[in-house]
Every structure is written in C-alpha cells, then in structure tokens.
C-alpha cells in the first residue's frame, strides 16, 4: 500500500475499531452534532464527521483488530449510509453450525458439497423482504439481492430499513453483515501530513532519472539499489531466477502499453516465461488495463525481464525484477489501492478463490487493503492458504497513523488482511539503517521487513526502489511504501521456490524466516526481519 489513499486505508482500518461492546446499549453512542444526525426508530444515523470522530475515539482506546459484527447497529447502519454504494455483504450458515464446520464447508469445491445452504440463503432473503416491505410494500427480492456469491455462502444486498439490519443480526442463520464503508473522503483534507502528492496511490509512475546499480558491464538492465541488502544478486549468480514459479499479483491490473511485460517478456535472459492477465472487476471483466499504475509498477518489481541484449533499448533504460525468470498472473481487483466498493471486495475474494483453484499459482502478492476485517475476503484467503498458496500482503503505509500512534507498538494489528496471522505474511519497510521507514506501519503482526528507503542517496535522487513505469517503453520509475516491500518479498519467495520446486509453502516460509536477521528471535515490530535470500537457497 502506498501514498495518500493507503494513508486513508490504514487510518480508516484503525479508526474503524469504534463500536459498542455486547453489553453496551446502542443509545449511549450519541451524535456530536444533533442537527445533522438522524434517529430512525431507536437507531441513530450519524453524519460522517460524527461517525469518524466516534471511530477515532475508539481507536485511541483499543488495540484490537476491528470486526464490523461486534460494532453497534448505529455504527454499521451509519457506515452503510455513508459508503459509496450503500451495500452490505451478508454471510449465512445453518443454525447451530460452528465456525470450524463453516470453514470445512467452504473448503469443499461447489461440485462436491453435500449441501449448498440454499435453504438458509432463501430464509434470510425472506426475512429481509418481510422487513423491507414494512416501509415499501411493493419491494421485490430483486430490489434487495444485488449479487450472489454461493462459493463463499454470501450475498451482496441493499436495504433501506435499519430494522432489517437488526433482524439479520438476530437471525440464527446469520454469519456476518459487513458494509463497504471507507472514510477516505474525510481524510482527503489531511494531505499536509502525507509525503507524496499522488492520489490514492495512483500516478503515472513516469520514467524518471534515478539512482541505479548496473547488473554488470554488459547488461542493459539495472538492478534496484536495495537488492544488495537482501543478497538478491547472489541468488542470480547461482542461476536462481524464479523460473517456473507463477506469482499472482492482486492489484489494479496491467498497463497494456508497457512492452516489457508483453512484447519483450521473453526477450530477456530467461525464455519460456508466461504472462497472463484477468480482470475480476464486474464492470470491466474484459479490460484488465491498469489505469492507476500501481499494479504495473509492482509487476516490474517482481518480474521485469532482465535484458542482457538491447532490443532497441539503451543501457540503463530498463530494470530487472527480483525474480526476473518467474511467471506473472496479473489480477485486476481494484481501480486504485484501496478496496472501497462492493465490486472490489467481490473481485478480491474471487481472485483469491481463482488462485486457490489454479495449481500453477504458488505465490500471491497483494499490496491493497481496507477498513476492518472483511469476512468475504478472509474466507477466500483461507481457501487459498489451505490449498498451499504463500500469501504476502502489505502491513500498511500510513504517515498519519505513524505520527499519531508513534508509541503504539501494536499498530499493524489493525490492518486487514495483514492481521490474518495464520493465513497471510505481512510485510513492511525499513530504511538502510534498519529503522522503520518514514511511511511504513510496523508492529506485532509484521512478519518481514524489506529495505526500501535510502537516506544516503544524494539530494534530488529517488530514495525508494526501482519499479516499472506506466509507459510504453522500459524506462524505470520508483515506488515506495509497504507496497514495494511486499512485492520484493514475493519475488524473493519465488527465487527460493524455483530452487526447491517440490517444497511446500510452509517449507519456503521457513527458509525465508531462518535466513532473516531475527529468524531465531522474532522482533516485536519487525517480525523475522530482513531476509538474506542467498542463505535461503542453501
């Protein structure tokens, strides 16, 4: 995650901790501005400023990960109304079914399930229809049901009656009800504390003149300055390039005009590579174009080809990715770097499910996130993890959060899905002096850190690693934040897995851990620390 919108993401992720405890009466949550808040029956609809202030207050009192299902009806209903699409994800299950049984059910392929739980879905829809009809007698089921996600026993709904939400949460077949709310609109006014001017993590990632390190005296490609801190070039010297390992990148897609990922992909040092792209966004299923630039930049970090011949490029005009021999699978799941709509939540979940069912995919890299825990995505992540995928996600990039909670060691515990301790590998960034990078969130649940800020470079030189530009040519750009740290870690995992193709995800993770500087004594903020990939391939 990176730049302005990621700052909103992590701030929102922390902020969304606000909610009543089970024993707390929802009436105790009072709007700070009664003139612009509304009460429907006994549900208080907070205006957005009041909602965010309430969220911020709880953030200061809690270090726990946020769960929408433990928040008050007031908070959830207000979040629905202030979200951009006013939709709600609802999960269902048979009554008296344990969470363990739910996960077992979701692990089964749809073709082998003994039941589809369609009866529970129908019953929950009937409950909603009955309650919605109390304020709109002509309402039909199709007015409520927006989309179905039977693979995850979930659906996306639109409701107009706050009592419908209350009835859903009281049902014994309800599993979760989660809005898509993100408070980014409010935090757009916080630009003074944001170091980058790029909007929501997007930008041209235009070709720039950057500090570079020549791979050798003849290669036309550069290696990023931070590769030496992880001994990546040492792995290359042993012919370890990531060859044969497919990495799925969940992001904003691929900029089609960037020829290094298409036309010249197999003109590099490693031949026979594959590159495929797919959009999981419902309104652009045939268009995985990266209009943001973020996904293309990270694809370059992981797998830009190493050109030891010119192919029309001048020297120092291209870069080599960490795993320049790997295969790439670009999954468009968002329009920028924050998952803030129902279609993007559904897209991320669908992409994880696709990865779970695609045997060639070994590694998943996602530098995106959103408010709180999203069960629909979490279920898909568990599915991918249980099917042997190694999943790297960003701990977070949040200057505001770092400045306000600089003494809060548990800050990373609030970032989703990095807070999924057992299923995801959370990555953040450090400086060349091995202190926390300025914009990076670190904490108890960060697993690895990558060197991604070089304060030793001359003034006017980019201090962040090389990336792929949003350009029709190969000129590199730069990218910072935990986004590049995550992609770099995924690339190193691909290097190690290509050396040990018969290994499991846990085997590879163990090798990465034991090759890191805190591998035997986990650091409270940096996890296992920085990996020396040359040791991981021994």
Domain end (from 37, 66, 83): 83
Q: What is the pLDDT of residue 289?
A: 92
76 sits in the region (left: phi over 0; alpha: psi -120 to 50; else beta) called alpha
Domain end (from 83, 102, 131): 83
Q: What is the pLDDT of residue 207?
A: 62
How far apart (Å, rounded) are the C-alpha atoms in residues 490 and 336? Answer: 20
Q: What is the pLDDT of residue 260?
A: 87
- Look up the CATH number of the domain holding residue 268: 3.40.50.200
Q: What is the pLDDT of residue 65?
A: 61
Assess if residue 298 is contained within a domain.
yes
Assess if residue 45 is contained within a domain.
yes
Assess if residue 224 is contained within a domain.
yes
Q: What is the pLDDT of residue 108?
A: 86
Assess if residue 191 is contained within a domain.
no
Domain end (from 64, 83, 102): 83
Residue 15 neighbours by CB under 8 Å, 6+ apart: 52, 55, 56, 58, 59, 183, 371
Calculate the alpha carbon distances from 234 to 133, 256, 321 in Å: 67, 32, 14
Assess if residue 11 is contained within a domain.
no
Taking Cα atoms as reference points, which of 388, 339, 344, 389 lies closest to residue 365? 389
Is residue 312 within 8 Å of residue 484, measured between CB atoms?
no
pTM for the predicted model, two decimal places: 0.89
Assess if residue 139 is contained within a domain.
no
Residue at token pair 């907070």 = 46
For the chain, list residues with pLDDT below 70. Answer: 1-41, 55-66, 111, 184-200, 204, 206-212, 310-316, 371, 398-414, 460, 473-474
Number of H helices, E strands in the chain: 16, 18
Q: What is the pLDDT of residue 11?
A: 37
Assess if residue 5 is contained within a domain.
no
Taking Cα atoms as reference points, which of 273, 337, 292, 312 lies closest to residue 475? 312
Assess if residue 499 is contained within a domain.
yes
| Tokens standing for residue 524 | 């409270």
Q: What is the pLDDT of residue 114?
A: 73
Q: What is the pLDDT of residue 213?
A: 78
Calculate the alpha carbon distances from 313 to 60, 269, 310, 318, 387 in Å: 53, 15, 5, 8, 41
How far apart (Å, rounded) are the C-alpha atoms in residues 7 and 404? Answer: 12
Task: Give the total number of structural domains in the chain.
Answer: 2
Domain that holds residue 66: 17-83
How far apart (Å, rounded) are the C-alpha atoms in residues 157 and 53? Answer: 27
| Alpha carbon 244 to chain centroid, angstroms | 25
């Amino acid at each position: 995650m990176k730049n302005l919108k990621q700052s909103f993401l992590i701030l929102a992720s922390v902020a969304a901790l606000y909610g009543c405890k089970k024993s707390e009466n929802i009436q105790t949550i009072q709007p700070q501005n009664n003139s612009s808040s509304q009460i429907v029956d006994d549900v208080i609809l907070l205006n957005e400023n009041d909602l965010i202030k309430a969220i911020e207050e709880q953030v200061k009192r809690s270090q726990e990960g946020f769960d929408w299902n433990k928040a008050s009806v007031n908070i959830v209903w207000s979040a629905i109304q202030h979200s951009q699409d006013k939709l709600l994800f609802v999960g269902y299950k048979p009554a008296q079914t344990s969470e363990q049984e739910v996960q077992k059910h979701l692990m089964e392929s749809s073709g082998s399930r003994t039941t589809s739980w369609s009866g529970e879905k129908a019953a929950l829809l009937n409950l909603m229809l009955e309650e919605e009809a109390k304020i709109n007698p002509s309402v039909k089921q199709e007015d409520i049901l927006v989309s179905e996600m039977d693979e995850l026993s979930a659906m996306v709904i639109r409701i107009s009656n706050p009592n419908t939400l209350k009835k859903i949460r009281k049902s014994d077949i309800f599993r979760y009800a989660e809005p898509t709310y993100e408070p980014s609109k409010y935090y757009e006014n916080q630009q003074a504390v944001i170091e980058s001017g790029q909007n929501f993590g997007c930008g041209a990632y235009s070709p720039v003149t950057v500090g570079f390190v020549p791979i050798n005296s003849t290669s036309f490609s550069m290696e990023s300055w931070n590769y030496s801190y992880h001994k990546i070039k040492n792995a290359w010297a042993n012919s370890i390039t990531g060859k044969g390992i497919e990495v799925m990148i969940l992001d904003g897609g691929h900029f089609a005009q960037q020829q290094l990922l298409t036309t010249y992909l197999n003109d590099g040092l490693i031949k026979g590579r594959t590159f495929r792209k797919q959009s999981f966004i419902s309104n652009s299923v045939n268009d995985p174009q990266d209009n943001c630039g973020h996904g293309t930049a990270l694809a370059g970090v992981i797998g830009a080809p190493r050109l030891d011949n010119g192919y029309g490029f001048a020297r120092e005009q291209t870069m080599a990715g960490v795993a320049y021999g790997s295969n790439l699978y670009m999954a468009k799941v968002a329009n920028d770097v924050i998952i803030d709509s129902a279609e993007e939540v559904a897209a991320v979940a669908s992409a994880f499910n696709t990865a779970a069912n695609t045997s060639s995919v070994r590694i998943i890299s996602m530098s995106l996130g959103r408010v709180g825990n999203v069960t629909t995505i979490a279920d898909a992540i568990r599915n991918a993890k249980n099917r042997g995928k190694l999943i790297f996600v960003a701990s977070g990039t949040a200057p505001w959060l770092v400045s306000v909670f600089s003494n809060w060691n548990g800050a990373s515990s609030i970032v989703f899905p990095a807070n999924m301790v057992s299923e995801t590998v959370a990555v953040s960034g450090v400086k060349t002096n091995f202190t926390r990078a300025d914009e990076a969130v670190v904490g108890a649940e960060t697993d690895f850190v990558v060197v991604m800020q070089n304060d030793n470079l001359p003034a006017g030189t980019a201090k962040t690693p090389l990336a792929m530009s949003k350009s029709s040519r190969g000129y590199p750009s730069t990218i910072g934040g935990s986004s590049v740290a995550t992609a770099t870690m995924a690339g190193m995992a691909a290097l190690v897995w290509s050396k040990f193709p018969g290994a499991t995800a846990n085997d590879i993770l163990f090798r990465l851990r034991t090759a890191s500087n805190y591998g035997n004594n986990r650091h409270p903020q940096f996890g296992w620390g920085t990996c020396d990939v040359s040791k991981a391939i021994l």
